[in-house]
Structure formats: structure tokens, C-alpha cells
Amino acid sequence: MAKDVIIACDFSSKEDVINFLSKFKEESLYIKIGMELFYAEGPSIIKEIKSRGHKIFLDLKLHDIPNTVMKAMSVLSKLDVDMCNVHAAGTVAMMEAAIKGLTREDGTRPLLIAVTQLTSTSEERMREDLLIQEPIDKVVMHYAQNAKKAGLDGVVCSPLEAGKVHDTCGKEFLTITPGVRFADGEVGDQVRVMTPAQAREIGSDYIVVGRPITAAEDPVAAYKRCVTEFLG
Ligand code: C5P
């Protein structure tokens, strides 16, 4: 199974991304593009990064009625991204529609993963704002099972949840885990973090790493360190 380090390119302009990517001379990278950059620059940013030989995780977290998500996904599948995502809270029917829209005429499609509960949502907010009374880890595992039932490839989760997701949904079901920090690095605003080596031990399939690489004095060295620690 492919394991990889995905770099979260949380830049606000094309210029900043290209400047960052131009530091890498030989490496073929896996880049996460989020809403901010995609909404600012549009599909041309995807074409630009793909033309440099990199893979793309387009992190737009779709959540709407099934028909709308299906149509939006069929547009994204033409962009030639390698991974994209939806909110599992959109229901199994919405996730099935997403897969349908994403699948090209030749049967191929980008990987599709689900966001379970956002890590910014506490159990208290779930209970009081969303009227969800179950414990948060039960909700996360249930959403992961729904994603599997709908035919998705995996979920975004905390590295701390990756082992349990694999136990619940099987080893082949992908875990994509942010919240990764070097043992001697800044934690910043992340609360529950793991090192790349710990993420590997616990069975993460892809780690999503932003500032430890993008804000490093030497991003290429930081990326290489991350790959070495994660892939072993
Ligand atoms: O800079 P840092 O390594 O904290 O970046 C982590 C990336 O993963 C960011 O793009 C952030 O939005 C994303 N993410 C996260 N936690 C989640 C879901 C996504 O940190 N639960």
C-alpha cells in the first residue's frame, strides 16, 4: 500500500506556492491544496502544480445534497487531482453520489476520503450545538464505517485514531493524519500531535504536514527528514 508525506500548502497565492515548490529540484511531491488557495486561484493552480510532476490532494470538504455533490465531483474528476474529500456528515447517500460523480468513463477516479468530526469540534459543542449525544470517538468510528459502506477509500483522522480506524474498518481503509510535529519542533496551535515515526508505528497511511515543512528554514531538508522518519 502506498504511504506518503502530503505537504499542506496553506499559502494564499499562487506566487507563494510556486516560490515554495521551486526550492525542490528533484522530488516528486504530494501537495494538499485547500479552500483558500483554490478559491483564490481557481483550477489553474491545479494544472500548474500537476505540470511540475506533483500529486494533489484537493481538500475542499464537500457537503451538500447528493445531486449537487455528484455534479461537483464530476467537475473535480476532470481536474486530474489524486485525492479529494467530503464530509461524512453528508450521509452515506451523499458519499455514494460523490463516488459516482468522481468516477470517470474509463472507471478510474481520484482517491476519495471523508472528514469525520473536525478536530476543532469538541464533545461539548457536538452535544450542545449539534445535539449529538454519543461520545466523540464513537461518532468518529461510526462516520468512518459509513464512509467505508459508501465505498470511500478512507478518512482524515487524528494519528491517535488511526489504529482504531484500521481495527474497525480494516487495514486497507486509508488513514490520512494531520497533527504531525518533529520531536524537537514547535507544536503551534495543534493540540494532540505525533512525530512522523510515531504516526508510522500507529499505522497512518498518509501524514499531512504543513508548517514543520513550509515554515522551516530549509524546507527541503525538513521534507526529507519527515519522509525518512515516516517511511523508515
Ligand atoms: O501546519 P500544520 O502541519 O498544522 O497543517 C496541518 C494541515 O492539516 C492544515 O492544512 C490543517 O488545516 C489540516 N487539518 C488539521 N486537522 C484536521 C483536519 C485538517 O490540521 N483535523
Instruction: State if residue 156 touches ligand 1 by the CB under 6 angstroms criterion.
Output: yes
Indicate if 224 belongs to the active site. no
Please tell me the predicted confidence (pLDDT) of residue 232. 84
> Stretch 41-67: mean pLDDT, rounded?
97
- Percent of the chain at pLDDT exceeding 70: 100
Ligand 1 mutation pick, 6, 10, 192, max ligand atoms within 8 A of CB: 10
Q: How far is the CA of 93 from the centre of ligand 1 (A)?
A: 27
**pLDDT at residue 1 above 70?**
no
Measured from the Cα of 118, ligand 1's closest atom is 21
| 3-state SS class at 152 | coil
Q: How far is the CA of 145 from the centre of ligand 1 (A)?
A: 22
Please tell me the predicted confidence (pLDDT) of residue 120. 84
83 CB-near residues (< 8 Å, 6+ apart): 55, 56, 57, 58, 110, 111, 112, 113, 176
**pLDDT at residue 191 above 90?**
no
| Nearest Cα to Cα of residue 23 among 221, 207, 212 | 221
Instruction: State if residue 211 touches ligand 1 by the CB under 6 angstroms criterion.
Output: yes
Tell the CATH superfamily of the 4-231 domain. Answer: Aldolase class I (3.20.20.70)
Instruction: State if residue 196 touches ligand 1 by the CB under 6 angstroms criterion.
Output: no
- Residue 31 pLDDT level (bands cut at 50, 70, 90): very high
User: What does the pLDDT look like over 72-87, one tens digit per residue?
Assistant: 999 999 999 999 999 9
The Cα 41–Cα 143 span in angstroms is 32
Task: Name the catalytic one among 3, 14, 50, 61.
Answer: 61
Residues in the chain: 232
Taking CA atoms, 94 is separated from 15, 68, 120, 211, in Å, by 35, 9, 23, 32
Q: How far is the CA of 105 from the centre of ligand 1 (A)?
A: 33
The Cα 13–Cα 36 span in angstroms is 9
Q: How far is the CA of 32 from the centre of ligand 1 (A)?
A: 10
| Sign (positive or negative) of CA dihedral 158, 162, 164, 166 | positive
